[in-house]
Amino acid sequence: MGIHQARKRFGQNFLVDLSVIDQIVRVIDPNALDRVLEIGPGQAALTAPLLARLNHLTVIEIDRDLAQRLRNRFPDTQLTVLEADVLNVDFSPLGSSLRVVGNLPYNISSPLLFKLIDYADQIKDQHFMLQKEVVDRMVAVPGDPHYSRLSVMLQARYAMTRLFDVPPTAFEPPPKVVSAIVRMVPLPHDRLRPQDEGMFSALVARAFGQRRKMLRRSLGDWAPLVDWGFVGIAETARPEALSVAQFIALADYLLPQVK
């Protein structure tokens, strides 16, 4: 089998640093019977050491050549290769208590993170390598310059921990940016949730769509519907000042009036 030429359009930066690979597998800490789904296995930098500890692994790979190499290299009793764009995959048939892992292609990380929110009930945990700057946004708190729509939407659904940074030299070819490993665990069901995910998501998108503006402006025709004193938020506040709980309260307040 020849050498695989990294394809830029698929965000291919392959992990080559064995100590980093070992560190990632250690924080995932797979058990033989875990139901693990790997996104973007590439040349099996993580796939092979994961398989050494698992009875079975399912992977989703968009690159036809890489998918074929994986099928040739591992028996299909151990490795199930889904050749697909992960953004088009329906996760519902993949089972529950899923452990999702991946050194993600950075060009699809935000849409993928948003997509996975819809499947959070099926997921036990997620461990991802992402651009460090994306992880900064995921874990940012109100007042932090990185606090954004991504922070609010993910923190409403997951407990997240930044685990460690990974330098460009750990990859081939090296990416232009520093990466970081993040752990995401869906919050338990008794945690405060918006009554309607659609309303919550629409509100957060509107508020951060114009993040420099006060809420009374950015919320447009919803602003006059809000009794600001009642919800305990200043109408002059900007979205970066609101906690996740305040966004949930505002969405629940607006729901019966907007629907």
Positions at the binding site for S-adenosyl-L-methionine:
13, 15, 40, 61, 85, 103
- In this structure, how many other beta carbons lie within 10 angstroms of the beta carbon of residue 141? 12
Rule CB under 6 A: say whether 114 interacts with ligand SAM: no
Q: How would you classify residue 11: left for phi > 0, otherwise alpha for psi between -120 and 50, otherwise beta?
A: left
For 152, 227, 250, the CA distances from 215, given in Å and listed in that order, are 16, 13, 11
The smaller minimum CB distance to ligand SAM, of residues 86 and 154, is found at 86
**From the list 20, 36, 37, 46, which residue makes contact with ligand SAM (rule: CB under 6 A)?**
46
Rule CB under 6 A: say whether 49 interacts with ligand SAM: no
Cα 165 to the center of its chain, rounded Å: 16
For residues 11 and 106, the answer to whether their CB atoms sit within 8 Å is yes
Cα 50 to the center of its chain, rounded Å: 20
**From the list 50, 57, 66, 251, which residue makes contact with ligand SAM (rule: CB under 6 A)?**
66
Rule CB under 6 A: say whether 79 interacts with ligand SAM: no
Rule CB under 6 A: say whether 30 interacts with ligand SAM: no
**From the list 20, 25, 45, 199, which residue makes contact with ligand SAM (rule: CB under 6 A)?**
45
Rule CB under 6 A: say whether 12 interacts with ligand SAM: yes
> Under rule CB under 6 A, which residues in 235-254 are in contact with ligand SAM?
none
Which region, judged by CB under 6 A, interacts with ligand SAM, from 83-91, 144-152, 183-191, 235-243? 83-91
- Determine the residue with CB nearest ligand SAM: 40
Rule CB under 6 A: say whether 62 interacts with ligand SAM: yes
* Token pair in block for residue 82: 């889904």
Applying CB under 6 A, what is the total number of residues that bind ligand SAM?
A: 24
Nearest to 95 by CA among 62, 124, 67: 124
* Token pair in block for residue 12: 């291919």
For 115, 127, 193, the CA distances from 157, given in Å and listed in that order, are 12, 15, 8
Which region, judged by CB under 6 A, interacts with ligand SAM, from 82-90, 132-140, 176-184, 219-227? 82-90
d(CA 257, CA 109): 34
d(CA 11, CA 115): 19
Rule CB under 6 A: say whether 25 interacts with ligand SAM: no
Contacting positions for ligand SAM (CB under 6 A): 10-15, 39-43, 45-46, 60-63, 66, 85-87, 103, 105, 108
